[in-house]
Amino acid sequence: MLPSPADAERIVLENIFTLPAEHCPLAAAHGRVLRAPIVADRELPPFDRVTMDGFALRSAAWAAGTRRFRVTGMQAAGMGPLTLRADDECVEIATGAVLPAGADCFVPYEETARDGEFVTIANDASLAPGRSVHARGSDGAKGAVLVAAGVRLTEREVAVAAACGDAQLSVGMRPSVAVVATGDELVEVDAPAVEPHQIRRSNDVALRAALLGGELAARVECFHLRDERTEVEAGLRRIVAEFDVVLLTGGVSKGKFDFVPAALAALGVEKKIAGVAQRPGKPFWFGVTPRRAPVFALPGNPVSASVCYRRYVVPALEKMLGVELAYPDWVPLANTTPGHPTLTRLNAVRLIATPDGRRTAHAVACNTSGDFAELVGTDGFVELPPGATEVTAGTVARLWAWK
């Protein structure tokens, strides 16, 4: 019996090893997977930071009725703290400056009137200790973990790392990936002429774009092998020896020219999965080379290839990089869509958000697993367990977003 998609995913992940970590300059860290936590090297913020322009004074003086204060200095951002010496004095202060020693309170320019070296505070101003002061340590204690390992770095984590003085980060090494198209019908995208019986290579081009755009690979190289047993085997021998991950498309079904499984077997690639109880993507094949490098053979049909890539290859590569696995996502169906009595259906959907705050998945009608133009504008696919030939609107399904 063929494994279900969940079983197939488990088998794949059991055979995937996380790659070592490497150092990466902060400027190149966006999209990489953090492998050592980002820790606060000092309190955040490191001093009582004033967040507006105005005057710093003592709240007790204000509470006792003082309204007119002598301005004794200017506290600019970047200056060490001045000292406020008397109740009827204040210090002019700029956004981002440290609250002067002896002051506990702040009033913005807008609530004051200046005359020479004095300033008068409006009676209706509301002064309280801490007003407009971003208190030292209020965002994080020294030593606090601000970003955990396993996070994919965005500009937000990069900002935190910069604030903590981390010019280098420990990130997961990314694999080199070979994307191998097979098939005599395939021609290059820029082939000068394409015969009616020929097909332009699109799967491998799409996979390379997904791998690089998703920061899942350090290097991606595309290859094309013809449907010829010795060529497939010789080509794969070189490729399997060189790359950390091999991604094949086509040649994996039961056809007369589908030489991929036999060629991989001849190279000592150990078969772990040969077919999954799903549609599309039933011929999906997975194995590991003698040096434990994963080999994924995706069906050639573009929709099947896309679905299998997202369902099995992306989680595997994320594990290699050290990504903490994300929580599953669920969504109700907006329309009734085909199911299958014995196979899990993976149906492409467009997500629709409505003003009442709900999100539903509108399944698109894919003609066949070759109807890849149908995928344009979709957001992912829903996973519909076997059972009925139709899955009704309102059913809640597991969602696999393309991204």
Of 143, 255, 290, 387, which lies in the binding site for ligand AMP, with binding defined by CB under 6 A?
255
Q: Closest separation between CB of residue 12 and ligand AMP, Å? A: 19
| 249 touches ligand AMP by CB under 6 A | yes
Assign residue 97 a region (left: φ > 0; alpha: ψ between -120 and 50; beta: otherwise): beta
- Residues pairing with 2 in the sheet: none
Whose Cβ is closer to Mg ion: residue 235's or residue 250's? 250
| 172 touches ligand AMP by CB under 6 A | no
- Residues pairing with 360 in the sheet: 352
Query: 183 with 256: CB under 8 angstroms?
Result: no
With 0-12 / 13-18 / 19 or more C-beta atoms within 10 angstroms meaning exposed / middle / buried, residue 90 is buried
Query: 344 with 383: CB under 8 angstroms?
Result: yes
Query: 294-329 b/e with 16+ CB inside 10 Å = b?
Result: bbbbbbbbbbbbbbbbbbbbbbbbbbbbbbeeeeee
Options 55-63, 126-134, 182-190, 315-323: segment touching ligand AMP (CB under 6 A)? 182-190
Q: Closest separation between CB of residue 219 and ligand AMP, Å? A: 19
Whose Cβ is closer to ligand AMP: residue 147's or residue 180's? 180
How far is it, in rounded angstroms, from Cα 282 to Cα 382?
16
- Residue 175 contacts which entry, ligand AMP, Mg ion, none (Cβ below 5-8 A, type-dependent): none
Q: What are the structure tokens assigned to 193, written together?
A: 């002429």
Q: Closest separation between CB of residue 255 and Mg ion, Å? A: 7
Residues that bind Mg ion (CB under 5 A): 183, 250-251, 300
Q: Closest separation between CB of residue 231 and Mg ion, Å? A: 13
Q: Closest separation between CB of residue 373 and ligand AMP, Å? A: 12
Of 12, 133, 180, 199, which lies in the binding site for ligand AMP, with binding defined by CB under 6 A?
199
| 204 touches ligand AMP by CB under 6 A | yes
Query: 159 with 151: CB under 8 angstroms?
Result: no
The arrangement of strands across the sheet holding 176-182 comes to 219-225, 176-182, 245-249, 294-298, 285-288, 270-274
Options 38-46, 70-78, 108-116, 293-301: segment touching ligand AMP (CB under 6 A)? 293-301
| 380 touches ligand AMP by CB under 6 A | no
- The residues that touch ligand AMP, with contacts defined as CB under 6 A, are 181, 183, 185-186, 199, 201-204, 249-253, 255, 299-302, 370
